[in-house]
Structure 1
């Protein structure tokens, strides 16, 4: 805090240079993060999470495989939604604390997305489509349609999860870069005094 004393003993508290720099850095951080459009990425993550969970419902009415038994669409979908919500919050309330939380959640989302992709791929490979066996009515047997539906749903979920992996990785990269640039400023929520304040010395006579 800078203090100036005039000839008439008027004490003037000037603007804190460090606080002003801190506020400038906070505004720069917010501008840098908003250039990465975390709100759009967050909304995309939320939508993908909801799609993964809703698309997985038919799997519970077909043959239960590892994907359904392990509940992959549910825990992966909830992770996507959580990462998206935190990214949307970061867009509105840009602080280093929320940035670090968003970075951690996005990192977890990326790791779990990769795990989900592996499980989907292994499940699809282990459960091939049953060949069509003609019935008396001229159609295929029920097992053929069941496995075909199951593989189609899992293929869609695999694509959604791959998209989520890419989005989470992009968010992690952007946030990690901003964290390195502004990491030394740990109290970005502090505000600098807007205008100098003046204090007059008391009359000693």
Structure 2
């Protein structure tokens, strides 16, 4: 903090050069984050999470398999929505602390997506479509149609989860790169005076 004293003994506190540099760096951080458009990717994550959860509802009406028992669409969908909300908030409040949290949540969402993809793949391999014993498909039993519906839904959930894996990985990579570029400015969020102040001359009330 720089201080200057005039001839009439008026003390004036000038702007600190370091404070100005940190403020400029914080603005650059926010501009860099917004350039990566985390809001768009965050909205995509929220939509994919909602779609995964809503598409999984019919699975409870068909053959119950490991996907339903473990609740894969639900905890993966909640994780996708959480990561999307953090990305949307980061677009409005580009702070270093929030950036670090968003990086962690995005990478966690990518890991959860990979885990869900594995479970979907194993489940679909263990529970194939039941064969139709009749010559005419219109006379197949209910189990045939139930397993076909279950496989169709799981295929859709698998595609949504793969898309979520890509979105989370891309967002996590972009934010991590920004974090590495601005990591030395972790104290940007601290409040600092931004305008010069002055006091009365010495010896006066």
Shorter-chain TM-score bucket reads over 0.9
Q: How big is the shift at 1:193?
A: 3.3
Residues 74-132 of structure 1, C-alpha deviations (whole Å, 9 max, x = no match): 00000001111111111111111111111111111111100000010111111111222
Partner of 2:58: 58
Q: 1:138 to 1:99 in 2, by over 3 A?
A: closer
TM-score scaled by length of structure 1: 0.94
Partner of 2:20: 20
Q: 1:12 to 1:130 in 2, by over 3 A?
A: same
Partner of 1:108: 108
Residues 44-65 of structure 1, C-alpha deviations (whole Å, 9 max, x = no match): 1111111000100111111111
Asked if 2 retains the 8 angstrom alpha-carbon contact of 1:67 and 1:123, the reply is yes
Q: SS where residue 198 of structure 2 aligns?
A: strand
Q: Which has the higher helix share?
A: 2
Q: How big is the shift at 1:136?
A: 8.7
Q: How does 1:123-162 map to 2 (within 5 A)?
A: 123-134=123-134, 138-162=138-162
Q: 1:137 to 1:53 in 2, by over 3 A?
A: closer
Q: How big is the shift at 1:194?
A: 3.5
CA distance, structure 2, for counterparts of residue 35 and residue 85 of structure 1: 18
CA distance, structure 2, for counterparts of residue 41 and residue 32 of structure 1: 15
Asked if 2 retains the 8 angstrom alpha-carbon contact of 1:15 and 1:192, the reply is no
Q: SS where residue 186 of structure 1 aligns?
A: helix
CA distance, structure 1, for counterparts of residue 58 and residue 171 of structure 2: 31
Q: 1:138 to 1:186 in 2, by over 3 A?
A: closer
CA distance, structure 2, for counterparts of residue 145 and residue 63 of structure 1: 10
Asked if 1 retains the 8 angstrom alpha-carbon contact of 2:10 and 2:202, the reply is no
Considering only aligned residues, what root-mean-square deviation do their CA atoms show, in Å?
1.7
TM-score scaled by length of structure 2: 0.94
Q: How big is the shift at 1:139?
A: 2.4
Q: How big is the shift at 1:198?
A: 2.3
Partner of 2:188: 188
Partner of 2:94: 94
Moved over 4 A (4+): 135-138
